[in-house]
């Protein structure tokens, strides 16, 4: 059988110097490679990363090997040295010396502390790496020993030499001597070196058991079979020989011929009856041991192969060649399977899969696993089934494989499972893929890329063309529907209507997994998972997860369309439709998910064995419940699970759920910050009381003031000793009694400004005059007395004021008394909207905790109002006799009568004039806890009301729900918009966009007036206000963006006018502003989007025209040839007829002056085609007449009107069709290739040559739009 040339199933590839040695790590996904330049590289082939380098050898390193259990590797090189390395310590432990020439191979023994090595000194040496000495020298070869290897089980060694022989050595005697005995060489025990034993071998420890002769030239490699008594060898005679041995002899079994140059290495496949060999003929060949024939050939064009490596546990191979190495497989290991969910309500789910030439059925619910039928495997390396499709109604099975370039088989599954051993007849056909599309129909994508619809008799009933001619794979998408893959696109195709219904971009899709509702599906590629929702007429992208290692399989969570569970090589992960993802558990070996049920995952491993994995789904169940607003489920998970940690708290804060994060936290500082963020005043108060931190009280005061809970504000200001704010609070709340107390306290503290401000707040003119007199300001005191009509006091002060100042101190005419306004509302907290307490408005309370009533909160807050809340002694000179700590336990108020009287020096009777009821502390607890109900609402449990949790602001919702730059700008998220514009169309210069950003942002906000004296209210403007309904976390509001299609139309009209009038700088400014404004425009329909793209093209063309004309006038006015060239280029800009006529007249005149009559004639003819005015027509006819008389061009121009071109606006030279060019990432202006990476001279904002995802101006815009319809005509 002739071998077929196929492609590698490449898993990993490196580029380096020539690789001479390879070894797989037995457990980790590592491979070590020794290079011809003396470097040893340690790679992680799963992640594709270089882990380490070892560089102590001098010259090529030809052999390398991992130890089976220890963190060791051994290497041998052309420096005659064997080095043992510890890869954890990343250094060489020791060096073994003894060989007298190049060392070819080295290997650890799987059980004993031995190393075997072969060398060009014609010897094989055995070493004890623990004792670090040479155990034995095996002599007998009379040429270079090219390879040596331990037997995997027996005490044998096989060596291959250029003396054309293969020798098998028996080392059982050495085992008894070194391992069974002392483990040290007899030369050390006696102290006398045995020179003969060292040079010529110790015959009592290792003997030649077999001498295999048969090769005609030197033998390069020999290997043992892992389990059978077989040896394979490869030599310079280009042959691979298979040998068998028994207890007494060994003989040649067969010779495999096919290589056309020296065979450099040959090995047995660890899991299949195959032989793999590589050669200097730049090929790797795979041989069938039973048929003794080649079955596969892998070739490289430039590189010779030198070494092979096989992984003993996995079906992985590695090959080293002249420019690196490659890790590959011979065929896929993914078992073919499909899941039948069961058509009826009572039917259990079934997994149909192929194992050992049988189709088997596994029921996860009952764990029943039975064979259904025997199948035939197609001959050849790609005969294994790749995919299965099951038709439950007709019990039909479609089995696809890669045999013959793609084929399928249609089986009828017997109802009687006892007939499973029989191989039923199947209907075969060729095709790249086959899936069922109806009860009795299936679709096949044939090799000509046509879709054939066939019946169950394998007869064609319909032939269709796929939506894309390069479609290479089809997937099931429901009855009468297909998903067609073409390059990086997935198209939903309706077989009945013969037209595409929707399209989404996703590169290299391999598998499609549908949810139970058949509306959601997941696309699995090599390194990505894409979640998609199918609507009636479109495919909507939901989320994408990128992985650095390969994605293997996936299933949807049972009964859910929110969560998708998938596996990589070493993890089970989840992804939810909002884009969040995480790890569920790790894996020891790759598995392929079939079904998710409860906390169990049912899957298959690579051998086709069914497995059940137990998983903890708490994290993604919590996240999906949070997204679905199922707060009862969220609370249940919080109470019963161990879900905690900074990661989940950070997630909740990021997603806007600090009230939920509050339920996880025990740390008081974190609880306080979360409570303030979500507006939970009562929890924040508890935490602040526990912390007693000044910053916390300040933050609490700010939040309480925002909510209108001025009693908590008062407490916070007392705790922080913020007297100025406290006084102003009393002014706002109309509490004149406490303002009077603040005045006395300021006087006691010696705070002059505090006294004056409090007197001003109280309207106490006499106190203000008193302060001014004490501070030696008689003029100001006299003015105040005069202004307030205090004539007696003014007369008393007048002598102190100089005469020249008295006239100035008289009050102006019409002066009025300065007195604070009377407060409208004095009682308790300011009124708020009364709402019922939500799930997360307060602490989680179980029934055992009882009611959170006013009494319980009274105690907490009352303690906070204790005697030393207002430690006034620190603020100024301590007043003698002041007793700041109230000893009387009954008077806990910080503003209580005895405390304050002591501070003021006392009077007749404790508390006279400062009654303890002034602050009415008894009501504070309930009022504070309730967050201030309206009026004088009580704080009892039955009437408990809390202020509403602040909803998400409109601007924040716009930021969270949009990927349109204009909407992000309207929301004020400039940095996010800038990042998005950079990724979409390569915008790098944002300075010109500042006025655009500011106008869009200011246009999306408005201010409303409230009641007199109240601040202005900010209001977000929506463009869909007619259909918009406000909700606390609503997402249906679209920001009003002032840059619309009509607005841009007006800008362009203004530019037209300036262009017509010849005001080119003004026209340039207007067109560039209009073009830059497109970056922030928002539209809501396909028609508007098309108009927007058309306006972009208009602006680009006119800017190009203005730049050309300006350059012609300013830079080339003294160069008539270049002047005419630019005038000619201008006539090819896509302008309005009037403006084109102007450019043609200018070009015609310039060409006539240059005496380029042929060129002028062409301009004249084009001008006449525009049907100009009579005078212009007459001029054109005269020019045409003159040109016909002088048919010549005086100067040669870089201008060919017959060859389509565009103009580079950097070099001002034409770029003709077929020539390479680069375009601006935003406006698509053309430039010559050297301009790539520079700033575009047309739009002034984007990078030339940038390949972005395309500007998004609409939420309905799903794919990159073509900015200019003619881009494809000129792009390279």
List residues bridging with 784 in a β-sheet: none
Which of these ranges, 789-803, 883-897, 1249-1263, has the smallest mean pLDDT?
A: 883-897
Q: Please tell me the predicted confidence (pLDDT) of residue 905.
A: 38
Q: What is the pLDDT of residues 482-531, one digit of tens each?
A: 999 998 899 999 988 888 888 898 888 999 999 988 899 999 998 999 99
Q: Please tell me the predicted confidence (pLDDT) of residue 1211.
A: 87
Mean pLDDT of the chain: 80
Parallel, antiparallel or unpaired: strands 81-86 and 91-97: antiparallel
- Among 942, 999, 947, which residue's Cα sits nearest to residue 972? 999
Q: What is the CA radius of gyration of the chain?
A: 44
DSSP type of residue 848: G
Give the helix/strand (H/E) hosting 523: strand 520-525
427-449: average pLDDT: 90
* 860 pLDDT tier (thresholds 50, 70, 90): very low
871-878: average pLDDT: 39
What percentage of the chain reaches a pLDDT higher than 70? 81
Q: Please tell me the predicted confidence (pLDDT) of residue 64.
A: 96
* 1111-1129: b (≥16 Cβ within 10 Å) or e: bbeeebeeebebbbbbbbb
Q: Please tell me the predicted confidence (pLDDT) of residue 361.
A: 87
Beta strands in 717-763 (DSSP E): none
Instruction: Compare 348 and 197 and report the one with higher pLDDT.
Output: 348
Most confident of the following: 82-91, 354-363, 763-772, 1260-1269: 82-91
Contacts of 1053 (CB under 8 A, 6+ apart): none
Q: What is the pLDDT of residues 399-419, one digit of tens each?
A: 888 877 788 889 888 876 655
Q: What is the pLDDT of residues 149-202, one digit of tens each?
A: 999 999 999 999 999 999 999 988 887 777 654 444 433 433 334 333 444 444
The number of residues in the chain equals: 1276
User: How far is residue 352's CA from residue 396's CA, in Å, rounded to a whole number?
Assistant: 12
pLDDT over 90 at 259, yes or no? yes
Q: What is the pLDDT of residues 554-570, one digit of tens each?
A: 999 888 888 999 999 88
Q: Please tell me the predicted confidence (pLDDT) of residue 1191.
A: 83
User: How far is residue 162's CA from residue 949's CA, in Å, rounded to a whole number?
Assistant: 85
Q: Please tell me the predicted confidence (pLDDT) of residue 645.
A: 60
pLDDT over 60 at 471, yes or no? yes
- Hey, what are 1029's tokens? 């309904």
User: How far is residue 1268's CA from residue 943's CA, in Å, rounded to a whole number?
Assistant: 66
Q: Please tell me the predicted confidence (pLDDT) of residue 788.
A: 80
* 777 pLDDT tier (thresholds 50, 70, 90): confident
* 599 pLDDT tier (thresholds 50, 70, 90): confident
Q: What is the pLDDT of residues 804-833, one digit of tens each?
A: 777 777 777 776 666 676 666 666 676 665
* 912 pLDDT tier (thresholds 50, 70, 90): very low
Distances in Å between the Cα of 495 and the Cα atoms of 404, 438, 484, 923, 1092 are 27, 11, 11, 75, 35
Q: What is the pLDDT of residues 1013-1065, one digit of tens each?
A: 677 777 878 777 666 555 444 456 788 888 888 989 999 999 999 998 889 99
- Hey, what are 103's tokens? 């060392």
621-646: average pLDDT: 74
Contacts of 1020 (CB under 8 A, 6+ apart): 953, 954, 955, 1004, 1005, 1006, 1037, 1039
* 945 pLDDT tier (thresholds 50, 70, 90): low
Q: Please tell me the predicted confidence (pLDDT) of residue 778.
A: 85
Q: Please tell me the predicted confidence (pLDDT) of residue 268.
A: 93
Which of these ranges, 204-208, 1098-1102, 1249-1253, has the smallest mean pLDDT?
A: 204-208
HSE of 169 in the Cβ direction (CA atoms, 13 Å)?
31
Which of these ranges, 270-274, 632-636, 645-649, has the smallest mean pLDDT?
A: 645-649
Q: Please tell me the predicted confidence (pLDDT) of residue 420.
A: 56
DSSP type of residue 426: -
Q: What is the pLDDT of residues 48-76, one digit of tens each?
A: 899 999 999 999 999 999 999 999 999 99
Q: Please tell me the predicted confidence (pLDDT) of residue 1066.
A: 93
pLDDT over 90 at 244, yes or no? yes
* 343 pLDDT tier (thresholds 50, 70, 90): low
Q: What is the pLDDT of residues 992-1026, one digit of tens each?
A: 999 999 998 888 888 887 666 677 777 878 777 66
* 435 pLDDT tier (thresholds 50, 70, 90): very high
Helix boundaries (H) for 590-709: 618-627, 631-640, 646-654, 658-661, 668-678, 681-691, 694-707
pLDDT over 80 at 365, yes or no? yes
Which of these ranges, 853-857, 1069-1073, 1249-1253, has the smallest mean pLDDT?
A: 853-857
pLDDT over 50 at 758, yes or no? yes
pLDDT over 80 at 886, yes or no? no
Q: Please tell me the predicted confidence (pLDDT) of residue 74.
A: 96
Q: What is the pLDDT of residues 261-290, one digit of tens each?
A: 999 999 999 888 899 999 999 999 999 888
- End-to-end CA separation in angstroms for the chain: 46
User: How far is residue 1138's CA from residue 1131's CA, in Å, rounded to a whole number?
Assistant: 12
1088-1106: average pLDDT: 91
- Hey, what are 1201's tokens? 């009107």
Contacts of 1171 (CB under 8 A, 6+ apart): none
- Among 519, 590, 502, 578, which residue's Cα sits nearest to residue 554? 590
User: How far is residue 515's CA from residue 533's CA, in Å, rounded to a whole number?
Assistant: 10
pLDDT over 60 at 454, yes or no? yes
* 315 pLDDT tier (thresholds 50, 70, 90): confident
Q: Please tell me the predicted confidence (pLDDT) of residue 1270.
A: 36
DSSP type of residue 991: G
> Cα dihedral sign for 577, 583, 586, 589?
positive
User: How far is residue 252's CA from residue 847's CA, in Å, rounded to a whole number?
Assistant: 85
pLDDT over 50 at 1182, yes or no? yes
- Among 643, 506, 627, which residue's Cα sits nearest to residue 578? 627
Say what the pTM is.
0.55
List residues bridging with 326 in a β-sheet: 13, 319
237-258: average pLDDT: 91
User: How far is residue 700's CA from residue 687's CA, in Å, rounded to a whole number?
Assistant: 10
pLDDT over 90 at 549, yes or no? no
1227-1253: average pLDDT: 91
Q: Please tell me the predicted confidence (pLDDT) of residue 290.
A: 85
């Amino acid at each position: 059988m002739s071998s077929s040339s196929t492609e590698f199933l490449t898993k990993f590839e490196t580029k380096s110097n020539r690789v001479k040695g390879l070894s797989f790590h037995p457990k980790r996904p590592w491979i070590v490679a020794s290079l011809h330049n003396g470097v040893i590289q340690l790679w992680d082939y799963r992640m594709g990363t270089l882990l380490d380098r070892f560089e102590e050898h001098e010259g090529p390193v030809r052999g390398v090997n991992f130890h089976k259990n220890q963190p060791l590797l051994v290497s041998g090189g052309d420096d005659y040295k064997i080095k043992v390395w510890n890869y954890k310590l990343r250094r060489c432990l020791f060096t073994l010396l003894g060989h007298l020439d190049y060392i070819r191979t080295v290997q650890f023994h799987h059980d004993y502390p031995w190393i075997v090595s072969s060398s060009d000194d014609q010897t094989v040496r055995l070493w004890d790496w623990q004792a670090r000495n040479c155990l034995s020298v095996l002599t007998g070869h009379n040429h270079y020993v090219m390879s040596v290897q331990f037997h995997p089980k027996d005490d044998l060694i096989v060596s291959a030499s250029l003396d054309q022989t293969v020798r098998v050595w028996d080392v059982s005697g050495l085992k008894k001597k070194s391992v069974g005995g002392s483990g040290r060489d007899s030369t050390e025990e006696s102290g006398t070196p045995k020179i003969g034993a060292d040079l010529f071998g110790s015959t009592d420890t290792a003997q030649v058991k077999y001498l295999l002769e048969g090769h005609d030239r030197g033998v390069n490699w020999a290997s043992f079979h892992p389990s059978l008594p077989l040896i394979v060898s490869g030599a310079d005679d280009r042959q691979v020989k298979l040998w068998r041995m028994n207890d007494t002899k060994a003989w040649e079994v067969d010779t495999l011929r096919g290589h056309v140059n020296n065979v450099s290495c040959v090995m047995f496949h660890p899991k299949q009856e195959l032989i793999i060999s590589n050669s200097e003929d730049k090929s790797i060949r795979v041989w069938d041991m039973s048929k003794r024939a080649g079955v596969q050939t892998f070739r490289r064009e430039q590189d010779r192969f030198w070494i092979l490596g096989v992984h003993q546990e996995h079906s992985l191979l590695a090959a080293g060649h002249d420019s690196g190495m490659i890790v590959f497989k011979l065929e896929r290991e993914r078992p073919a399977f499909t899941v039948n969910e069961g058509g009826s309500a009572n039917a259990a789910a079934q997994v149909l899969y192929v194992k050992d030439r049988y189709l088997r059925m596994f029921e996860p619910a009952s764990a029943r696993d039975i064979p259904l039928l025997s199948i035939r495997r197609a001959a050849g390396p790609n005969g294994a089934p790749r995919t299965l499709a099951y038709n439950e109604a007709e019990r039909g099975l479609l089995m696809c494989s890669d045999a013959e370039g793609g084929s399928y088989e249609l089986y009828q599954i017997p109802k009687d499972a006892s007939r499973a051993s029989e191989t039923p007849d199947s209907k075969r056909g060729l095709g790249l893929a086959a899936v069922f599309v109806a009860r009795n129909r299936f679709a096949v994508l044939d090799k000509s890329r046509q879709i054939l619809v066939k019946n169950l008799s394998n007869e064609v009933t319909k032939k269709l063309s796929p939506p894309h001619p390069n479609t290479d794979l089809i997937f099931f998408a429901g009855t009468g529907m297909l998903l067609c893959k073409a390059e990086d696109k997935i198209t939903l195709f309706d077989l009945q209507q013969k037209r595409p219904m929707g399209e989404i971009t996703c590169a290299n899709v391999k598998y499609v997994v549908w949810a139970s509702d058949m509306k959601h599906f997941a696309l699995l590629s090599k390194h990505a998972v894409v979640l998609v929702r199918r609507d009636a007429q479109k495919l909507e992208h939901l989320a994408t997860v990128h992985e650095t290692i390969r994605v293997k399989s996936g299933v949807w969570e049972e009964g859910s369309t929110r969560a998708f569970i998938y596996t990589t090589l070493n993890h089970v992960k989840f992804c939810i439709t909002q884009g969040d993802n995480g790890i569920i558990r790790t894996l020891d070996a790759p598995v392929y998910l079939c079904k998710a049920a409860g906390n169990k995952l049912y899957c298959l491993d690579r051998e086709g064995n069914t497995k059940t994995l137990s998983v903890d789904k708490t994290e993604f169940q919590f996240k999906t419940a949070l997204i679905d607003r199922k707060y009862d489920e969220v609370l249940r998970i919080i109470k019963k699970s161990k879900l905690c940690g900074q990661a989940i708290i950070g997630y909740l804060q990021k997603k806007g759920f600090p009230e939920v994060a509050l339920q996880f936290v025990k740390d008081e500082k974190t609880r306080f910050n979360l409570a303030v963020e979500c507006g939970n005043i009562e929890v924040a108060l508890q935490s602040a009381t526990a912390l007693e931190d000044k910053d916390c009280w300040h933050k609490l005061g700010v939040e309480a003031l925002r909510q209108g809970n001025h009693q908590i504000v008062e407490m916070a200001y007392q705790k922080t000793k913020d007297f100025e704010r406290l006084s102003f609070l009393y002014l706002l709340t109309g509490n004149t009694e406490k303002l009077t107390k603040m005045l006395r306290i300021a006087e006691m503290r010696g705070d002059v400004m505090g006294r004056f401000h409090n007197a001003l707040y109280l309207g106490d003119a006499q106190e203000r005059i008193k302060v001014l007199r004490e501070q030696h300001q008689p003029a100001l005191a006299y003015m105040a007395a005069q202004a307030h009509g205090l004539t007696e006091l003014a007369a008393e002060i007048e002598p102190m004021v100089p005469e020249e100042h008295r006239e100035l101190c008289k009050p102006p005419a019409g002066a009025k008394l300065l007195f604070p306004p009377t407060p409208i509302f004095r009682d308790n907290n300011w009124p708020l909207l009364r709402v019922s307490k939500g799930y997360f408005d307060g602490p989680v309370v179980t029934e055992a905790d009882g009611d959170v009533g006013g009494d319980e909160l009274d105690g907490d807050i009352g303690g906070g109002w204790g005697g030393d809340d207002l430690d006034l002694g620190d603020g100024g000179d301590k007043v003698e006799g002041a007793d700041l700590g109230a000893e009387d336990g009954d008077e806990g108020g910080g503003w209580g009568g005895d405390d304050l009287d002591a501070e003021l020096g006392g009077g007749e009777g404790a508390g006279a004039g400062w009654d303890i009821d002034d602050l009415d502390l008894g009501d504070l607890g309930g009022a504070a806890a309730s967050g201030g109900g309206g009026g004088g609402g009580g704080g009892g449990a039955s009437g408990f009301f809390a202020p509403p949790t602040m909803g998400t602001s409109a601007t924040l919702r716009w930021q969270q729900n949009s990927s349109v730059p204009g909407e992000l700008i309207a929301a004020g998220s400039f940095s996010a918009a800038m990042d998005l514009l950079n990724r979409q169309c390569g915008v790098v210069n944002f300075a010109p966009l500042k006025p655009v950003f500011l106008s869009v942002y200011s246009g999306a906000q408005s201010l409303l007036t409230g009641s007199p004296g109240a601040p202005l209210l900010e209001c977000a403007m929506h463009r869909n206000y007619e259909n918009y309904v406000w909700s606390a976390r609503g997402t249906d509001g679209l920001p009003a963006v002032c840059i619309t299609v009509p607005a841009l139309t007006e800008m362009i009209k203004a530019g037209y006018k300036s262009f017509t009038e010849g005001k080119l700088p003004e026209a340039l400014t207007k067109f560039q502003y209009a073009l830059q404004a497109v970056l922030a425009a928002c539209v809501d329909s396909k028609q508007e989007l098309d108009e927007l793209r058309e306006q972009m093209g208009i602006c680009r063309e006119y800017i190009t025209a203005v730049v050309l004309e300006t350059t012609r006038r300013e830079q080339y006015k003294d160069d008539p040839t270049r002047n005419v060239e630019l005038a000619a280029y201008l006539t090819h800009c896509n302008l309005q007829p009037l403006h084109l006529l102007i450019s043609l007249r200018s070009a015609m005149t310039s060409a006539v002056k240059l005496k380029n009559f042929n060129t002028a004639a062409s301009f004249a003819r084009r001008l006449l085609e525009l049907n100009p005015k009579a005078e212009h027509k007459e001029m054109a006819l005269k020019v045409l007449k003159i040109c016909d008389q002088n048919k010549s061009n005086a100067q040669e121009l870089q201008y060919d009107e017959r060859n389509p071109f565009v103009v580079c606006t950097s070099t001002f030279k034409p770029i003709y069709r077929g020539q390479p060019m680069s375009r601006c990432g935003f406006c698509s202006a053309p430039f010559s290739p050297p301009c790539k990476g520079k700033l575009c001279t047309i739009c002034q904002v984007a990078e030339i040559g940038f390949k972005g995802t395309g500007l998004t101006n609409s939420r309905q815009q799903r794919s990159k739009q073509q900015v200019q319809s003619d881009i494809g005509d000129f792009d390279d």
